[in-house]
Structure 1
């Protein structure tokens, strides 16, 4: 059981007995170890108190009812806490941790908040730790085990006859070779991973140094931050191949945004969306199209809803209702929009790659 499990319930003003906590954690473990990437999408929706498929929600609640018949499927707040606990456990322990971390982060925007901030902080810290581990582990060194001369010595002393000593020597020699091959294979895999990290870093460095937009086909110095902030986040994410990405990415995005003209302190969200070129928006919506995830990705949803609308702000009403975010309340710096777009694109790429 996570050491903060009880604290998460207390933050949501829910008090449970020790036996109830134990039962709830049993359900958390059962769900987290079987979770798929599509389950994670639904879990994030529950965690953020957003509309979710009824069948999934009933199945989720049923896991806890089987363990504790007194559990109520109608307690929306407790379900949200438990969904968050499952997400935290996946982030800490299971193979889908990167997608889980990225989607929880991407869903956090504007006035949308998760059920328990403590869970969000745990997942965020786990994501940062994973980012650091990817880069720092490439510097580890390990010597490959070499085979002993046991077999050669046994053959020498036996006059090359097949004796029990030779048989034992051969057995030991074979085990040593097998262990060496395994270590060599691990080392080669580690080198390949390190090369991917170095390639990713070099790509980001070239992009940062050049200050050139692939999508706009011009220097970022020629465009203003209102037009470029979302494109900056997208282009950075498309250079990342190892999830959950580099821990220094926000510094990279900050530098690129600084290249732009008119780096206004705060921009209205609706204005940022309306300034995006229609053709670019169409290409983006065609490339990144995961319908069940759309409402969890605030910028991506806005780009989808705003395409082909007759008036500038026609999409806002539908967006406010379905994405559970008030557009009029969102006012961020260009850098913040770039970071948000980066995590949304990276979460979608991670989903496609799983």
Structure 2
């Protein structure tokens, strides 16, 4: 059981036996096959968003919600559903996922949207998600010591059994050769497996190195990728979203490196001051917006900035989309973030939407 779950579940009950049953269901949920819709559903339950956890005629969300309730009902048929209990139990599922699932952590952070949405829970789930991303981002980029990679020569013991061999009958030697072939085959299979594992390590190491070089080349080259402009020519209001998109397009290993804030700062995104989300969305061009949204289905919950771009694309830049976006997302039109926080938000939304 996660160390924070007793504190979290104390919002519902202090009954230890009941808490244990709930945790049994949580473990069952996290051991089942993962689907992105599950992360979306959990975010909606945890944050109590205006968008319902089962969606509006969205089959995958409905299935995820049914599976969520079913797991707890199977562990304890007497359980009674309720909004607060669902929120707490969903938060418990998130706690269990945070140890290894970077997508769940991303969903929690993007839904919080830099504090524009607040959680009322005895556990600071957003900070825990931030810590999980930092830990996973670092651990998945540790480079192995390639000097220690070696494949030992295969060894095998083989004692031919000639007891059934008749010297004047070649066919009787078949059993001996079959035994030899089987022994050598097993040794070669083991050798190939070790070779493939070593190759996999080399490929992953190269992937990490390539990502680092691409990110460094971008910041040193001082030129945006999608808009094809020098950093200096980009207005300050456009930089958070434009630079975040560039960095996300170069990120190959989830959940992204911990150096992203430093790269954004080096590129000219300010860590001080505030910018309205709606102003940043209005600042980018129509062509850039269309390119960024191509092939994506933003959620008003887990990707609110992308959803703002979608609403702006539908009505055009200006204030015409503000009210609808705010009503759907539950985020105030006047919500502000530091430019670098907004860039990180958008960067993480892109990773979540992949």
| TM-based fold match above 0.5 | yes
Mapped pair 1:69 → 2:77: yes
- CA gap of 1:139–1:248, structure 2 versus 1, over 3 A, is farther
Would the alpha carbon gap of residues 115 and 31 (structure 1) be closer, same or farther in structure 2, given more than 3 Å must change? farther
1:87 aligns to 2:98 (yes or no): no
C-alpha distance after superposition, 1:22-77 (max 9, x if no partner): 11011112222223222221112112212221645454223212322332212x12
2:118 corresponds to? 113
Higher helix proportion, which one?
1
Which secondary structure does the structure 1 equivalent of 2:141 belong to? helix
Residue of structure 2 in register with 1:142 after alignment: 149
Q: Who is 1:348 aligned against?
A: 353
- Residue from 165, 188, 191 that aligns with 1:180: 191
Contact 2:219 2:266 in 1 (8 A): yes
Cα distance between partner residues in 1 of 2:19 and 2:337: 39
After superposition, the CA RMSD in angstroms is 2.9
Q: How does 1:284-323 map to 2 (within 5 A)?
A: 284-287=292-295, 289-291=296-298, 293-309=299-315, 312-323=318-329
**Aligned pairs (5 A) from 1:1-354:** 1-10=1-10, 13-34=11-32, 35-50=34-49, 51-53=52-54, 55-56=62-63, 57-74=65-82, 76-93=83-100, 97-109=101-113, 110-114=115-119, 116=121, 117-139=123-145, 141-148=148-155, 175-258=186-269, 265-287=273-295, 289-291=296-298, 293-309=299-315, 312-328=318-334, 330-349=335-354
Q: Which runs of 5+ in 2 are unaligned?
A: 56-61, 161-166, 168-172
Flag the 1:115–1:83 CA change in 2: closer, same or farther, 3 A. Answer: farther
- Give SS of 2:351's match: helix
SS in 2 for 1:225: coil
**What is the rounded CA distance, in whole Å, between the counterparts of 1:171 and 1:286 in structure 2?**
54
Name the CA shift for 1:253/1:139 in 2 (closer, same or farther; >3 Å). farther
Q: Provide TM-score, normalisation by structure 1.
A: 0.82
Structure 1 alignment gaps of length 5 or more: 156-160, 350-354
**Can you list the C-alpha shifts for 1:135-163, whole angstroms capped at 9, x where unaligned?**
11434633323223755xx79xxxxx99x
Q: 2:300·2:328 contact (CA, 8 Å) conserved in 1? A: no
Please give the TM-score of this superposition, normalised by the length of structure 2: 0.82
CA 58–171 in structure 1, closer or farther in 2 if over 3 Å, else same: closer
Does the CA-based 8 Å contact 2:102-2:133 persist in structure 1? yes
The aligned residue for residue 352 of structure 1 is none
Flag the 1:274–1:181 CA change in 2: closer, same or farther, 3 A: same
CA distance in 2, matches of 1:20, 1:216: 56
* Alpha-carbon distance change, 309 to 179 in structure 1, aligned in 2, over 3 angstroms: same
Look up the SS of the partner of 2:327 in the other structure.
helix
Whole-angstrom CA distance in 2 between matches of 1:305 and 1:266? 22
Moved more, 187-196 or 13-22: 13-22
Contact kept in structure 2, 1:257 and 1:334, CA below 8 Å: no
